[in-house]
């Protein structure tokens, strides 16, 4: 077990380092931050002074080594725009994003999974077809279209909900709904498929033949076995809690990590972009690690394989 955890952690570290390196190189190869930050009209003296002040006139490999050294000492650099700690800027935005992504995740789980399970248990019925139709509609509708449609209906036409901003919790309703619709559709489809597959297994027939109550068969035999693929999807959703609101935050002017990332990339605010990517990678890797461990808890066969 220790070797299993150690191997997973090592893989996680390598993944994070790869992400950091890739981001470092791509950001610098795709445009001089001084020119991007200062715009097209500033004099060359100002551009040169900026590059010198931020060490951008150093060879790339020296900049890279300095950066790696600093992140290992917990220093994630300073924002070129705000002259403040990049980590502090990023952490300030995390709560705003989580205010959207966590309720959205809960909505996905509370609606998507039961809908999928219910549809599987009533296969070929009108409800099943309705769930499938809505699920496909949900995850094929891009969030930027859905968001604008919701604003048009609830803000412009009905005038009952605000169209953007973060002033009160009411402002979070439309973005949360926009973010959750696609995920509800995905979870409903996966839950339905997983349940249909499990319900066709011999052990379900055996449990039914033993005379167990139907609810007992579903809750204790079908659902735990159907949970493994669902957990995989939920793992991805948890992993994207930090990064999953980029489009929605832009549409609804929600000041979270997504908007900070967009602004920082377009301004080539290197330290902030790298800090966000590092956090996203770490969240995703950690989420996957937890999913791996959760598999073992859910499925004794995996635990058994792991022991060997």
Partner 1 sequence: MLSINRRGALGLIGAATGSLILPRMTFAQGKRPSVTIAVQKITNNNTLCVWNEQSNVGERVFFPNLWEGLILRDWMGNQGPIAGLATEWKRIDDKTLELKLRQGVKFHNGDELTADDVVFSFSKERVFGDTEPKGGKTIFEDDHKPTTAKELPASVPGIGRRLWPALAGVEAVDKYTVRFHNTTPDVTLEGRLYAYGSQIANRRAWDEAASFTEWARRPVTTGPYMVSEYKPDVSLTLVAFDEYWGGRPPLEEIRFVEVPEVASRVNGLLSGEYDFACDLPPDQIGAVEAASGFEVQGSTILNHRISVFNTQNPVLADPLVRRAMTHAIDRKAIVEALWGGQTVVPPGLQFDIFKTTDMFIEGWQAPEFNPELARDLLKQANYKGDAIPYRLLNNYYTNQTSNGQIMVEMWKQVGLNVEIQMKENWAQIHDPEGIKGVRDWSASANINDPVTPMVTQFGPNGEMQQKKDWTNAEMNDLSVVLETSTDRAARKKAYARILEICEREDPAYQVLHQNAVFTGMKSSLKWKAAPAFAMDFRSNNWTM
Q: Which stretch binds partner 1 (CB under 8 A): 28-36, 61-69, 178-186, 270-278?
A: 28-36
CB-wise, 154 or 294, nearer to partner 1?
Answer: 154
- Chain residues 127-156 in contact with partner 1, contact rule CB under 8 A: 148, 151-152, 155-156
The binding track of 188-227 with respect to partner 1, each residue x by CB under 8 A or -, is: ----------------------------------------
Among 169, 214, 219, 297, interactor with partner 1 by CB under 8 A: 169
φ/ψ region of 129 (left if φ > 0, alpha if ψ in -120 to 50, else beta) reads alpha
User: Using the 8-state DSSP alphabet, how is residue 85 labeled?
Assistant: B
DSSP sequence for 200-227: TSHHHHHHHHTT--HHHIIIIIIHHHHH
Contact between 106 and partner 1 by CB under 8 A: the answer reads no
- Using CB under 8 A as the binding rule, whether residue 95 contacts partner 1 is answered as yes
d(CA 108, CA 110): 6
> Strand, helix or coil at 78?
strand
Contacts of 202 (CB under 8 A, 6+ apart): none
C-alpha pair distances (Å), 23 with each of 20, 89, 99, 208, 230 = 5, 19, 27, 54, 31
CA distance 69 to 66: 5
Q: Which residue number, 40 or 211, has a Cβ lying nearer to partner 1?
A: 40
Binding residues for partner 1, how many (CB under 8 A)? Answer: 60
Nearest to 18 by CA among 240, 297, 284: 284
Among 204, 262, 286, 302, binds partner 1 (CB under 8 A): 262
3-state secondary structure of 308: coil
Contacts of partner 1 in 64-83 (CB under 8 A): 81-83
CA atoms within 13 A on the CB side of 39: 3
**Site for partner 1, residues 235 to 254, rule: CB under 8 A:** 250-253
For 253, the 3-state DSSP assignment is: coil
Cα distance between residue 251 and residue 148, in whole Å: 7
Member of 59, 167, 202, 209 binding partner 1 (CB under 8 A): 167
Binding residue (CB under 8 A) for partner 1 from 35, 58, 232, 306 = 35
Establish if 59 lies at the interface with partner 1 (CB under 8 A).
Answer: no
| Of 111 and 251, CB closest to partner 1 | 251
**Binds partner 1 by CB under 8 A, chosen from 52, 88, 125, 220:** 52
- In the bound state with partner 1, the residue whose beta carbon lies nearer, of 35 and 232, is 35
| Among positions 50, 67, 76, 190, the unique one binding partner 1 when judged by CB under 8 A | 50
Q: Count of CB atoms within 10 A of residue 282's CB?
A: 17
- Residue 24 within binding range of partner 1, rule CB under 8 A: no
3-state helix, strand, coil in the chain (%, to 5): 80, 0, 20
Using CB under 8 A, list all residues that contact partner 1.
30-50, 52-54, 81-84, 95, 98-99, 102, 148, 151-152, 155-156, 159, 162-170, 172, 250-253, 255, 259-260, 262-263, 266-268
């Amino acid at each position: 077990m220790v070797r299993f955890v150690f191997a997973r952690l090592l893989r996680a570290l390598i993944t994070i380092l790869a992400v950091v390196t890739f981001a470092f190189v791509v950001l610098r190869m795709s445009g001089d931050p001084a020119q991007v930050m200062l715009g097209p009209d500033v004099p060359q003296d100002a551009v040169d002074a900026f590059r010198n002040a931020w060490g951008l006139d150093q060879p790339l490999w020296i900049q890279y080594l300095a950066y790696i050294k600093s992140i290992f000492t917990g220093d994630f650099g300073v924002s070129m725009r705000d002259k403040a700690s990049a980590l502090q800027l990023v952490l300030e935005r995390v709560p705003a994003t989580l205010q959207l992504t966590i309720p959205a995740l809960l909505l996905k789980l509370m609606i998507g999974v039961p809908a999928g399970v219910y549809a599987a248990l009533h296969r070929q019925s009108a409800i099943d077809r309705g769930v499938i139709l809505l699920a496909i509609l949900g995850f094929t509708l891009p969030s930027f279209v859905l968001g604008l449609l919701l604003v048009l209906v609830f803000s412009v036409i009905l005038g009952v909900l605000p169209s953007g901003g973060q002033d009160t919790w009411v402002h979070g309703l439309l973005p949360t709904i926009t973010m959750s619709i696609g995920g509800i559709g995905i979870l409903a489809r996966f839950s339905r498929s997983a349940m249909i597959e499990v319900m066709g297994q011999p052990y379900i027939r055996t449990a039914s033949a033993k005379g167990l109550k139907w609810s007992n068969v579903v809750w204790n035999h079908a659902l735990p076995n159907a949970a493994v693929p669902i957990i995989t999807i939920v793992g991805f959703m948890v992993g994207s809690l930090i990064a999953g609101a980029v489009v929605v935050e832009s549409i609804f002017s929600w000041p979270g990590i997504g908007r900070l990332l967009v602004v920082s990339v377009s301004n080539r605010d290197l330290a902030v972009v790298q800090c966000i990517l590092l956090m996203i990678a770490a969240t995703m890797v950690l989420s996957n690690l937890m999913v791996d461990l959760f598999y073992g808890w859910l499925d004794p066969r995996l635990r058994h394989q792991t022991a060997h």
